[in-house]
Amino acid sequence: MLKARVIPCLDVKDGRVVKGVNFVDLKDAGDPVESAKAYDAAGADELCFLDITASHENRGTILDVVRRTAEECFMPVTVGGGIRTTDNIRDLLKAGADKVSINTAAVLRREFIREASEKFGAQCIVASVDAKRVSKEGEPLKWEIFTHGGRTPTGIDAIEYAQEVVDLGAGEILLTSMDRDGTKIGFDIDLTRKIADMLTVPVIASGGVGTLEHLVEGVRDGHATAVLAASIFHFGEYSIREAKDYMVKAGIPMRMDLDK
Amino acid sequence: MRIAIIDYGSGNLCSAAKAFERAARESSLQAEVLVTSHPEDVRLADHIVLPGVGAYADCRAGLDAVDGMVEALNEAVIANGRPFLGICVGLQLLASRGLEYKVTEGLGWIPGDVVSLEPSDPSLKIPHMGWNTVELVRDHPVWAGIPTGPDGLHAYFVHSYHLKAANPAHVLATADYAETVTACVGRDNIIGTQFHPEKSQKLGLALISNFLKWRP
């Protein structure tokens, strides 16, 4: 049977791993390729590189990181951050990425998802949905799409947007709660479940993981098929193996190939 | 040993090439891995790999767009019996026809149609994306020594269509996704995997090593 996936995300800036709390106040957590190798050896199910400052800075560094990773790691690699054109996608896939996650460019121009999906196939187009809760207490739940690392509101309804990008050809959704990102208080389960239940494509839950129980909640309660986390893994609070052991004990089928 | 990985504009071949180099090294095989769009390289190769990602019709059109490639493949694989591995859409292209969006003719090496996945559990997501175990239906040298079954190793899948082989004897392995998904097909010197061995860590490298050692 298909297993739930645990995806460590490496936020990369200038070729180095960082993880910001709510996307500011960045800390340095090392060389991305070394981290990728360690996660590969530890049994991570997939890797995600997020080039967080790609819009302002030299994109060449991420291509080099991806290229060096592909030489060492034989697992799926997703790269996001600053992808604006089909040429950007082609460069990343050629460097060794398997999937790309598209964020702002699709918010600005939805058709970009269709073009990318038609050119490279839905299987490698991940639509990134950065959502912030905008409903007040007591009101019906409502989330809005934010861009630029959660700084810029767009007025776009997140639920409608997720459905739209899937209709345009996205093969997977990377769903990040901008309220929870960096807070370590757990996923926004209402948001995750609402989108996961609505869509026919896999949903990766992201934003807010602080404990192993949060990973369980993302799959069990949020109905995500994959869970993404960064800092709990980078800073050695938990290993990938501890995470998967914990999820197995909670009754979630996981891939435990390391000992076989 | 020369390994030709056919480049016809479909996706990332860098990681496939690296996986074959790694598998060869780990098996102490002297291997030259060539990512190539030249039919001549395919004719001269000892082992031939046809990858493929994206839509069926696009992959078929891409393959046809390389002048002389289909002829070279038929010569090397069908006439000369060189070991051949198709990966993902590269497996699907072996079918008689692909039915993704429209009817597209395949190479016809493994008779059958490529049809959409239809899991009986509607809550399951399409694409079938992620790590699944495989059931070995019949023994084959490329699966030698690889633990399969519910407690076996996992393979990485990402696809929405699969090959329904007309001849059940051509199905070597399946995966369970609320339906029986074709995971591996083969006959004679031909093998195909719906999953990505180049992305399947331990299982993938073992299967690639076996393929390189295979002398059908």
Q: Which of A130, A179, A181, A188 is catalytic?
A: A130
In which element (H, E) is residue A20 found? strand A16-21
Print the domain residue range for B92: 2-213
Residue A109 lies in a domain: yes
Residue A64 lies in a domain: yes
B interface test, pick of A66, A123, A248 with most B CB neighbours within 10 Å: A123
From A93, A200, A255, residue closest to B125, measured CB to CB: A200
Q: Which residues of B touch A76 (CB under 8 A)?
A: 156, 158, 196, 199
Residues 113-172 (B) with a CB less than 8 A from some CB of A: 124-133, 147, 150-154, 156-160
Q: Which residues of A touch B151 (CB under 8 A)?
A: 260
| Mean pLDDT rounded to a whole number for chain A | 90
The predicted pLDDT at position A94 comes to 85
pLDDT confidence band for A28 (50 / 70 / 90): very low
Q: Which residues of A touch B22 (CB under 8 A)?
A: 74
The predicted pLDDT at position A55 comes to 54
What is the rounded distance in angstroms from the CA atom of residue A46 to the CA atom of residue B130?
A: 9
A157-182 exposure pattern, b = at least 16 Cβ within 10 A, e = fewer: bbbebbbbbbebbbbbbbbbbbbbbb
Q: Which residues of B touch A240 (CB under 8 A)?
A: none
The predicted pLDDT at position A54 comes to 52
Amino acid at B84: F
**A130 noted as active-site residue:** yes
In which element (H, E) is residue A27 found? strand A24-30
From A75, A93, A226, residue closest to B199, measured CB to CB: A75
User: How far from the centroid of its chain's Cα atoms is residue A253's Cα?
Assistant: 21
Query: How many domains in chain A?
Result: 1
Question: For B109-152, how does the pLDDT look when each residue is reduced to its tens digit (9 = 90+)?
Answer: 999 999 999 999 999 999 999 999 999 999 999 999 999 999 99
pLDDT at A56 over 80: no
Q: What is the CATH number of the domain that holds B155?
A: 3.40.50.880
Q: Where are the beta strands (DSSP E) in chain B?
A: 2-6, 32-36, 47-50, 84-87, 97-98, 104-105, 112-116, 128-133, 135-136, 154-159, 161-165, 171-176, 180-187, 190-193
Residue ranges of chain B with per-residue pLDDT less than 70: 10-12
Q: Are A224 and A246 in contact (CB under 8 A)?
A: no
The predicted pLDDT at position A26 comes to 36
Print the domain residue range for A220: 5-249
Q: What is the CATH number of the domain that holds A156?
A: 3.20.20.70
Residue A223 lies in a domain: yes
Query: How many domains in chain B?
Result: 1
ipTM for the whole complex = 0.91
What is the rounded distance in angstroms from the CA atom of residue B214 to the CA atom of residue B216?
A: 6
The predicted pLDDT at position B33 comes to 96
What is the rounded distance in angstroms from the CA atom of residue A92 to the CA atom of residue A232?
A: 27
The predicted pLDDT at position A59 comes to 67
Residue A130 lies in a domain: yes
In which element (H, E) is residue A7 found? strand A5-13
